[in-house]
Structure 1
Amino acid sequence: MSDLPFGFSSHDRGDDDNDPDKRKKDRDPNSPQDPFGFGGAGFDMGDLGQIFSKLGEMFSGAGNVMGGGAQSGPVNYDLARQLASNSIGFVKPIPEQTSTAISDAVRLAETWLDGVTPLPAGTTQSVAWTPSDWIDNTLGTWKRLCDPVAEQISAVWTQTLPEEARAMAGPLLAMMSQMGGMAFGSQLGQALGTLSKEVLTSTDIGLPLGPKGVAALMPDAIEALAEGLEQPRSEIMTFLAAREAAHHRLFSHVPWLSSQLLSAVEAFAKGMKVDTSGIEDLARGIDPSALTDPSKMEELLSQGMFEPKASPEQVVALERLETLLALVEGWVQTVVTAALGDRIPGTSALSETLRRRRATGGPAEQTFATLVGLELRPRKLREAAALWEKLTEAVGADARDGVWQHPDLLPGADDLDEPAGFIDRVLGGDTSGIDQAIADLEKELGGPEDPPVDK
Structure 2
Amino acid sequence: MADDNLDRPDDRSPEDQFAEMLRNILGGGAEGLDPSRLEALSGLGVDPAMLQQMMQQMQAAFTAGGDGIDWSAAKTSALHLANKDGLSITAGNRQEFDQAFSLATLWLSEATTISDLPHPPRAITRGQWVEATLPVWQELAEPVADSIAGALTAAIDEQTPEEMKGMIAGAGQFMRRIGGSLFAAQLGAVIGRLSLEVVSGGDVGIPILPDGEAVIVPQNFADFGRDLEVDGDQLALYLATRELAHARLFRHARWLRLHVISQVTEFARGIHVDTSALEDLASRFDPSSPDELRTALESGALLPQRTAEQDAALSRLENLLATIEGWVDVVTADATARLPEAAKIAEAVRRRRAVGGPAEQAMGSLVGLELRPRRLREAAAMWRAVGDAVGTADRDSLWDYPDLMPEAADIDDPAALVARLQARARGEQPERDAFDDALDALLNGADRAEGPDSADTGDSDTPEDPRPV
Q: Above 0.5 in TM-score?
A: yes
How far off is 1:157 after superposition? 2.1
Q: 2:149 corresponds to which letter in structure 1?
A: S
Report whether the alignment pairs 1:402 with 2:397.
Answer: yes
How far, CA to CA, are the matches of 1:166 and 1:240 in structure 2? 60
How far off is 1:126 after superposition? 1.7
Judging changes above 3 Å, is the alpha-carbon distance between structure 1 residues 302 and 382 closer, same or farther for their aligned structure 2 residues? same
How far, CA to CA, are the matches of 2:375 and 2:127 in structure 1? 32
**What SS does the corresponding residue of 1:321 show, helix, strand or coil?**
helix
How far off is 1:335 after superposition? 0.5
How far, CA to CA, are the matches of 1:309 and 1:300 in structure 2? 19
**What SS does the corresponding residue of 2:188 show, helix, strand or coil?**
helix
How far off is 1:93 after superposition? 2.4
CA contact (8 A) 1:202 1:210 kept: yes
Q: 2:273 corresponds to which letter in structure 1?
A: V
CA contact (8 A) 1:59 1:175 kept: no
Judging changes above 3 Å, is the alpha-carbon distance between structure 1 residues 370 and 61 closer, same or farther for their aligned structure 2 residues? farther
How far off is 1:433 after superposition? 9.1
How far, CA to CA, are the matches of 2:305 and 2:118 in structure 1? 38
Judging changes above 3 Å, is the alpha-carbon distance between structure 1 residues 397 and 278 closer, same or farther for their aligned structure 2 residues? same
Report whether the alignment pairs 1:84 with 2:78.
Answer: yes
Alpha-carbon displacement from aligned partner over 1:100-129 (angstroms, at most 9, x marks no partner): 221221121111111111111125122111
How far, CA to CA, are the matches of 1:337 and 1:122 in structure 2? 20
- Which shows bigger deviation, 351-360 or 169-178? 169-178
Report whether the alignment pairs 1:103 with 2:102.
Answer: no
How far, CA to CA, are the matches of 2:274 and 2:93 in structure 1? 47
Alignment of 1:147-158 (within 5 A): 147-158=142-153
| Equivalent residue number for residue 185 of structure 1 | 184
| Equivalent residue number for residue 51 of structure 1 | none
- Within the candidate set 307, 313, 325, 1:311 is matched to 307
How far off is 1:376 after superposition? 0.2
How far, CA to CA, are the matches of 2:278 and 2:398 in structure 1? 47
How far off is 1:329 after superposition? 0.6
TM-score where L is the length of structure 1: 0.76
Alpha-carbon displacement from aligned partner over 1:286-313 (angstroms, at most 9, x marks no partner): 46xx56x422x54356445643543211
- Which shows bigger deviation, 357-366 or 196-205? 357-366
Judging changes above 3 Å, is the alpha-carbon distance between structure 1 residues 164 and 388 closer, same or farther for their aligned structure 2 residues? closer
Judging changes above 3 Å, is the alpha-carbon distance between structure 1 residues 120 and 171 closer, same or farther for their aligned structure 2 residues? same
How far, CA to CA, are the matches of 1:425 and 1:406 in structure 2? 16
CA contact (8 A) 2:193 2:359 kept: no
How far, CA to CA, are the matches of 1:232 and 1:71 in structure 2? 54
| Equivalent residue number for residue 19 of structure 2 | none
How far, CA to CA, are the matches of 2:65 and 2:306 in structure 1? 28
| Equivalent residue number for residue 194 of structure 2 | 195
Q: 1:398 corresponds to which letter in structure 2?
A: A
How far off is 1:422 after superposition? 2.0
- Which shows bigger deviation, 88-97 or 327-336? 88-97
Judging changes above 3 Å, is the alpha-carbon distance between structure 1 residues 74 and 374 closer, same or farther for their aligned structure 2 residues? farther
- Provide the alpha-carbon RMSD of the alignment: 3.3
How far off is 1:340 after superposition? 0.9
Alpha-carbon displacement from aligned partner over 1:370-409 (angstroms, at most 9, x marks no partner): 2321110000001111111111111111111111122332
Report whether the alignment pairs 1:299 with 2:267.
Answer: no
Structure 1 unmatched runs, 5+: 1-14, 23-32, 37-54, 438-455
Judging changes above 3 Å, is the alpha-carbon distance between structure 1 residues 387 and 353 closer, same or farther for their aligned structure 2 residues? same
Q: 1:299 corresponds to which letter in structure 2?
A: E
Report whether the alignment pairs 1:377 with 2:361.
Answer: no
How far off is 1:328 after superposition? 0.8
CA contact (8 A) 1:113 1:336 kept: yes
CA contact (8 A) 1:387 1:419 kept: yes
- Within the candidate set 100, 118, 140, 2:113 is matched to 118
Report whether the alignment pairs 1:70 with 2:64.
Answer: yes
Q: Give aligned-pair identity as a percent.
A: 35
How far off is 1:182 after superposition? 2.4
- Within the candidate set 339, 343, 346, 2:335 is matched to 339
Structure 2 unmatched runs, 5+: 1-34, 437-469
Report whether the alignment pairs 1:415 with 2:414.
Answer: no
How far, CA to CA, are the matches of 1:68 and 1:155 in structure 2? 16
Judging changes above 3 Å, is the alpha-carbon distance between structure 1 residues 301 and 255 closer, same or farther for their aligned structure 2 residues? closer
How far, CA to CA, are the matches of 1:224 and 1:323 in structure 2? 30
Alignment of 1:132-143 (within 5 A): 132-143=127-138
Q: 1:127 corresponds to which letter in structure 2?
A: R
Report whether the alignment pairs 1:327 with 2:323.
Answer: yes
| Equivalent residue number for residue 228 of structure 1 | 227
Q: 1:324 corresponds to which letter in structure 2?
A: L
**What SS does the corresponding residue of 2:110 show, helix, strand or coil?**
coil
Report whether the alignment pairs 1:175 with 2:174.
Answer: yes
Judging changes above 3 Å, is the alpha-carbon distance between structure 1 residues 228 and 64 closer, same or farther for their aligned structure 2 residues? farther
| Equivalent residue number for residue 445 of structure 1 | none
How far, CA to CA, are the matches of 1:419 and 1:260 in structure 2? 22
**What SS does the corresponding residue of 1:310 show, helix, strand or coil?**
coil
How far, CA to CA, are the matches of 1:282 and 1:363 in structure 2? 24
TM-score where L is the length of structure 2: 0.74
Q: 2:318 corresponds to which letter in structure 1?
A: E
Number of aligned residue pairs:
383
CA contact (8 A) 2:194 2:360 kept: no
